[in-house]
Amino acid sequence: MAIFDNLQKISDTAWELPASYKDGMRVPARIIATEKLVREMDEAVYQQISNVTTLPGITRYALCMPDGHSGYGFPIGGVAAMDVHEDGVISPGGIGFDINCGMRLVITNLTLEDVQPHLRQIVDRLYERVPAGVGSHGFLKLSRQDFRNLVEQGARWCIEHDYGWEEDLEFTEENGCISGANSAKISERAVDRGYNQVGTLGSGNHYLEVQVARPEDVRDKELAEKFGLAIPNQVVVMFHCGSRGFGHQVATDYLRTFLKVMDSKYGIKILDRELACAPFESPEGRDYFAAMKCGLNMSFANRQVILHRIREVFSDVFGRSAEDLDMRMVYDVAHNTAKLERHLVDGKERKLLVHRKGATRAFGPGHREVTTRYREIGQPVIIGGSMETGSYLLVGTASGAETFFSTAHGSGRTMSRTKARKLWHGKQLQRDLEARGIYVRSTSWAGLAEEAGAAYKNIDEVIAATELAGISKPVVRFTPIGNVKG
Amino acid sequence: MITGPLGSGKTTLLRHILAMHPANIAIVMNEFGEITIDAKIIEGQNVRIAELGGGCVCCSLLGEFEAAVTEIINKVGPERIVVETTGLAEPEALVFNIQDALPQCRLDGVISVIDADMLARFPELGHTTRLQIEGADILLLNKIDLVDANQIEPLERKLRETNSSAVIIRTERCRIDPELLFGIGRHREQTDALLGPGSPIPATTHQNRPDFGSFAFSSDKGFSRDCFERFADALPASVIRAKGFVRFQDGSQLFNFVAGRWELEPFEADRTELVFIGKEIAAKKKTILSALKKCEL
């Protein structure tokens, strides 16, 4: 029997594998997507999300977002809330290696007409000022001690060193600095891999894009204006990057630790070794939490420095200050995290460690953790599509409580990177994109091919699914015109 | 390229390769700290290099992989480079990078080290582990001393279900002569090379080449040289490649067989260990093994 037939339809956008599906499942596994998107998912996703339900402390269900696809341990798009008072665990495979890989969106008061004549120059300068590629080094020269301070202070460190505006912090999740980051819990090797990478994009699916908000793509005019999008054909810059080699090393270090203690010390039995974990309230779990927070802060700082470079480039090209170009941040959201949050479960408030791997936090209107500037309307959500198709600004909804206020993070791959490289050739892809008015610079042709539009799910379908499921609401769709690909 | 999940024995294998003191080899590892190195460390731009003598160096990446390999080639000029990937890496992407961005190298093979005990203990292969098994030319089923002898065959079958054509070699503490790991890998590449870069390129992974297979043989007995030479001459045309060590009465030899031509040269080895790779070779396996058995003394 095909595994799809084991799924119970809860609603048009909720599909459940019951806890009886597999031995050891503590709660059901739920996929939030339309039938079409569910059917398009790799069967490994169903196995992975049901394996997640075997982890101690899991509350209500393990969730997979509409853009889910298979990853290390958890699927990418996986969400799991662990009750820390009920022996709940923390698992690096539920956070991802690129800790706090995330999105940042900045507006300008320029229109497509203003930018078009300078587009190549802007993209070329961005390509120079924001280093991309696998081992790219940043222009920021930090000592190892500076770096340790930076990972404890996050984007705040950058503002204090003149890389940005004070108000940027207000528009960043956690105000750009999550408390409790402890650099004593990270290895020297992690510092090695991070201290020269602040201000760099990285490789893979990381990118920086110049985009346009076409009038016909504004889905909610009133909300759009509140986020600063009020000019027809307004140009914005969106970028996606994370904690680079640093986050990867932190995850590796603690996966090793957890593999040693998981069974022998804590008696935790799991189906898939990639789900290695430790109780949150254990010395190992606490240490990882403090180290992982350093990864979160490194990433906020990384995006802060990149924002500063973007402002410099626009300012140089147009001969006006970034303030004069109104280059305000709309928001910065994290994708790969685990955070302690309070959620209502069966009418009772509980303290849960919410793992979001390739999923975006999406608090609705009135939530106390949303910045006061947006509290009335809800938290902005930024979802990037493939570089060919388009991206979205959305907002969290009150009905998002069903998914612990989580939504999709991107369009989700439909095929492996390897397969994409075999199907397309990067250089040809660049020419095709240019013919369609999108100017692309990339460090690697093969890497560019990996990001071909057809290697991803249709972004519009993913967004529609999140809206239908009531977990986020689209505000504006953006069309790319220039792209720096990592 | 050496891949495999965290804790499967990749570093042990590297340590073992280093202990054999190979000449003109560069070993690229994730972390120096895992091997005690008493040598001068040279800090390069993309790589940290420890000179071990005889043209053998040990390297730890600082920057981009491609840049680091180029730097090693320019500074040291090794004949062979052994690369250790992290336990979290999906090998195919790196395979592509080597073929795509490093024309000065030829990828010899992907070796995945798999922990037999872990394979037996966890009911499901993880996503990344599966990709590491799928992408391998040689699978070292390591730590076989930690599982019951009767478990080994089912474990090999489990590996075969994911990768039907890789050579599976059983090891304890990764004890294998490194010589056996070189030169038997990438036969699937031949088709890639014919097609060249461009689009679209049909997938050429193991799964799509069910006719391609391999098997390994090992024995603690001595062999008759005359008998073995007759055996080698009579190997069927479906055997494309064979390699290994054979213990004869007058000493052990390295056996190298490529498409019907073969040679033997003196080589230190304490047991007979051979691998055979070819097209539709499964049908011939029984005949080949029984002919080989007849040469045992």
CB contact under 8 A, B199 and A423: yes
Domain CATH for B74: 3.40.50.300
Q: Which of the listed residues B136, B166, B195 is the one where a domain comes to its end?
A: B195
Are A252 and B129 an interchain contact pair (Cβ–Cβ within 8 Å)? Answer: no
Confidence of residue B161 (pLDDT cuts 50, 70, 90): very high
Inside any domain, residue B246: yes
| Minimal C-alpha gap between B134 and chain A (Å) | 13
B182 and B246 co-located in one domain: no
The pLDDT of residue B197 is 38
- The verdict on B127 and B7 lying in the same domain is yes
Distance between CA atoms of residues A24 and B122, nearest Å: 13
Catalytic residue among A137, A161, A409, A425: A409
Q: How do residues A304-343 score in pLDDT, each as one tens digit?
A: 999 999 999 999 999 999 999 999 999 999 999 999 999 9
- Of chain A, the percentage scoring pLDDT greater than 90 comes to 81
Last residue of a domain, one of B139, B166, B195: B195
The mean pLDDT value for A223-233 works out to: 97
- CA-nearest of A336, A349, A346, A117 to A247 is A336
Is residue A169 a part of any domain in this protein?
yes
3-state secondary structure of B123: coil
How confident is the model over A22-71, as pLDDT tens digits? Answer: 999 999 999 999 999 999 998 899 999 999 999 999 999 999 999 999 99
**Whether residue A206 lies in the annotated active site:** no
Distance between CA atoms of residues A310 and A129, nearest Å: 8
Count of domains forming chain A: 1
Give percent of chain A with pLDDT exceeding 70: 98
Model confidence at B30: pLDDT above 80 = no
What's the first-to-final CA gap in chain A, in angstroms?
A: 42
| A109 inside domain | yes
Whether residue B273 sits in one domain with residue B152: no
Give A442→chain B minimum CA distance, Å: 14
3-state helix/strand/coil string of A39-80? HHCCHHHHHHHHHHCCCCCECCCEEEEEEEECCCCCCEEEEE
Residue B86 in domain: yes
Which DSSP string do the residues of A156-218 spell out, in sequence order?
Answer: HHHHHTTSS-HHHHHTBGGGG--TT--GGGS-HHHHHHHTT-TT--BSTT-EEEEEEE-GGGB
B30 shares a domain with B170: yes
- Other CB atoms closer than 10 Å to residue A44's CB: what's the count? 18
Judge if B178 and B228 occupy the same domain.
no
Task: Give burial (CB, 10 Å; 0-12/13-18/19+) of B130.
Answer: middle
Tell me the count of A-B CB pairs closer than 8 A: 94
Which of A44, A73, A133 lies closest to B64 in CB terms? A133
CATH for B280: 3.30.1220.10
- Given a cut of 90, is residue B56 above it in pLDDT? no
Instruction: Report CB contact under 8 Å: A446, B63.
Output: no
- Structural domains of chain B, count: 2
Q: Do B203 and A422 touch (CB under 8 A)?
A: yes
Same domain? For B104 and B20 the reply is: yes
Interface of A with B (CB under 8 A): 44, 47-48, 51, 70-73, 97, 133-137, 189, 192, 248, 251-252, 255-256, 259, 270-275, 416-419, 421-425, 428, 444-446
The rounded distance, in Å, linking the Cα atoms of A391 and B38 is: 53
| Contact: A72, B64; criterion CB under 8 Å | no
Mean pLDDT (whole number) for A127-144: 80
- B137 in the same domain as B80: yes
Question: What does the pLDDT average to over A71-75?
Answer: 95
Within-domain flag for B279: yes
Contact B107, B186 (CB under 8 A): yes
* B100: CB partners within 8 A, 6+ apart: A421, A445, A446, B197
> pLDDT > 90: what percent of chain B?
46
Helices (H), A268-402: 283-318
Q: Which among B142, B169, B195 is the end of a domain?
A: B195
CATH of the domain at A334: 3.90.1860.10
Q: Chain centroid to CA A61: how far?
A: 21
Residues B89 and B226 in one domain: no
- The answer to which of B24-33, B189-198, B267-276 has the lowest mean pLDDT is B189-198
| pLDDT for A389 | 84
**B46 interfaces chain A, CB cutoff of 8 Å:** yes
Looking at the domain assignment, is residue B31 inside a domain? yes
Domain assignment present for residue B205? The answer is no
B181 and B55 assigned to the same domain: yes
Is A44 domain-assigned? Answer: no
Q: Which tokens sit at A125?
A: 């300068």
Asked if B68's CB is within 8 angstroms of A71's CB, the reply is no
- Please give the residue range of the domain that contains residue B228: 213-293
Q: Are strands A329-334 and B80-83 parallel, antiparallel or unpaired?
A: unpaired
Q: Report yes or no on A204 lying in a domain.
A: yes
Length of chain B (residues): 297
The answer to whether position A261 is within a domain reads no
pLDDT at A164: 97
A114-118, A201-205, A256-260: which range is least confident on average? A201-205
∠ CA A86-A92-A96 to the nearest 5 degrees?
Answer: 130
pLDDT tens for B64-103 read 788 888 889 998 889 999 999 888 888 887 887 787 778 8
Predicted structure pTM score:
0.89
Same domain as B233, residue B99: no
* Structural domain range at position A376: 102-254+274-342+351-485
Q: Which residue has the tokens 């936090």?
A: A361
Residue from B88, B102, B188 to probe the interface with A (highest A Cβ count within 10 Å): B88
Which residue has 């982890």 as its token pair? Answer: A55
